[in-house]
Amino acid sequence: MREQPLFLAPMEDITDPSFRYICKMFGADYMYTEFISSDGLIRDGKSSVKKLDLFDYERPIGIQLYGHIIDSMVDAAHRAREANPDLIDLNFGCPVRKIAARGAGAGMLQNIPLMIEMTSAIVRAVDLPVTVKTRLGWDDNSKIIVDLAERLQDTGIAALTIHGRTRAQLYRGEADWTLIGEVKNNPRMKIPVIGNGDVNGPERAKLMFDRYGVDGIMIGRATFGRPWIFREIRHYLDTGEILPEPTVDEKADLALLHLDKSLEHKEGKPAILEMRRHFSSYFKGLPNFKETRLRLLTSPDVNEIREIIEEIREKWGNCRSEDLTGIYGI
């Protein structure tokens, strides 16, 4: 593991191969697939199996699994192993109701014995590093992560990622890194501890490294519409300098590249529909953009989309968001 590594968090419907390609290009050190249902995978569900697509340029890359039945999770881990990832990650942190209510994801925080038994079984079952991502606890009355981290380490996992919220918080409020710091500074902990939650820029990333001593930082929602955040953070950690935001011209190049990669992976309408959310974020904040934005986000034709992106390049050219703020008062 390199010094102060940066991780791209697994995010459903976001961290597909096209987005991972972009994030790797900007310097993400470690990446994960979208999380994969163990039940879907062992039943050869089309969407679950598709998520096993990995590429050499992505390495090191992990496959993240979730589920609530030990045998199914072990079988899914064997299946994931066949895709030849660098590691297998267990999702004990997803707070979404339909997952947690079944006892999977963050729902495991209500059944710690099952979590430990499942983790131990998977560590024994596969010949790859197994890692875990979880939260501080189920709610404010059960922030058990300091003790839980030791128990997970004892199962033989290779690293632990902690999101600084409870399941009850979902993504509300601020992430609390103090307990992440306690885990990292626990003399019993020998495995890498990776912090996650509210890292939204270079200065925040450096603060988390310096204040809490974590071995790495995982970035999730802040990468959406801003995959260059990895480049910004790495440059700041290395030099102390804040890089300027990419120009609209550079974002147009990025949008076209991202579109091409999405089409390689999904083809046709699914790729176009998925890219709309990225287009909206890449060009957020442009003045007098409403009409162009509407066309960009509703066109079903790839060639027309490319033409609209070129129009954006021509109209806003070398401007950056901060430049537009000064000029247009937005």
The pLDDT score that the predictor gives to residue 153 is: 98
77 and 197: one domain?
yes
Q: Is residue 103 in a domain?
A: yes
Write out pLDDT tens, residues 309-325.
999 999 987 666 555 43
Provide the 10 A C-beta neighbour count for residue 239.
Answer: 9
Q: What is the mean pLDDT of residues 106-118?
A: 96
**Whether residue 247 has pLDDT greater than 70:** yes
Indicate the range of 44-48, 119-123, 132-136 predicted with least confidence: 44-48
Active site residues: 94
- What is the Cα–Cα distance from 51 to 15, expressed in whole angstroms? 10
Average pLDDT over residues 103-107: 94
**Per-residue model confidence (pLDDT) at position 316:** 87
Return the percentage of the chain with pLDDT > 90, whole number.
87
Q: 214: left (phi > 0), else alpha (psi -120 to 50), else beta?
A: beta
Same domain, 148 and 297: no
Q: For residues 240 and 81, give the distance between their C-alpha atoms in angstroms, rounded to a whole number.
A: 40
Q: Mean of the per-residue pLDDT values for the chain?
A: 93
Q: Which domain does 224 fall in, by range? A: 6-239
Strands 216-219 and 130-135: unpaired
Domain boundary among 202, 222, 239: 239
* C-alpha of 15 from chain center: 6
State which of 196, 213, 239 marks the end of a domain: 239
- 85 in Cβ contact with 51 (< 8 Å): no
Placement of tokens 């501080």 in the chain: 136
Angle, alpha carbons 294-298-300 (nearest 5°) = 150
Burial label, 196 (beta-carbon count in 10 A; 0-12, 13-18, 19+) = buried
Residue 40 — very low, low, confident or very high, per pLDDT cuts 50/70/90? very high
Note whether 287 and 219 are same-domain residues. Answer: no
Q: For 169-210, write each residue's pLDDT tens digit.
A: 989 989 999 999 999 999 999 999 999 999 999 999 999 999
CATH code of the domain covering residue 186: 3.20.20.70
Q: Rounded mean pLDDT of 36-60?
A: 94
- Has residue 1 got a pLDDT over 80? no
- Letter string b/e over residues 46-83, b meaning 16 or more CB atoms within 10 A of that residue's CB: eebeebbebeeebeebbbbbbbbbbebbbbbbebbeee
Q: Report pTM.
A: 0.92
Give the strand pairing for 216-219 and 6-8: parallel
Q: Over the stretch 208-238, which tens digit does the pLDDT of each residue have? A: 999 999 999 999 999 999 999 999 999 999 9
- 59 and 164 fall within a common domain: yes
Let me know if residue 304 belongs to a domain: yes
Would you state the pLDDT for residue 233?
98
Q: Are 105 and 148 spatial neighbours (Cβ–Cβ below 8 Å)?
A: no
**Claim to verify: residue 231 and residue 266 sit in the same structural domain:** no
Question: pLDDT-derived band of residue 330, with 50, 70 and 90 as boundaries?
Answer: very low
| Boundary residue ending a domain (239, 265, 299) | 239
pLDDT at site 321: 59
Residue 1 forms part of a structural domain = no
Shared-domain flag, residues 47 and 134: yes
* Total number of residues shown for the chain: 330
Residues 15 and 99 in one domain: yes
At 329 the pLDDT is: 31
The pLDDT of 142-167, averaged and rounded, is: 97
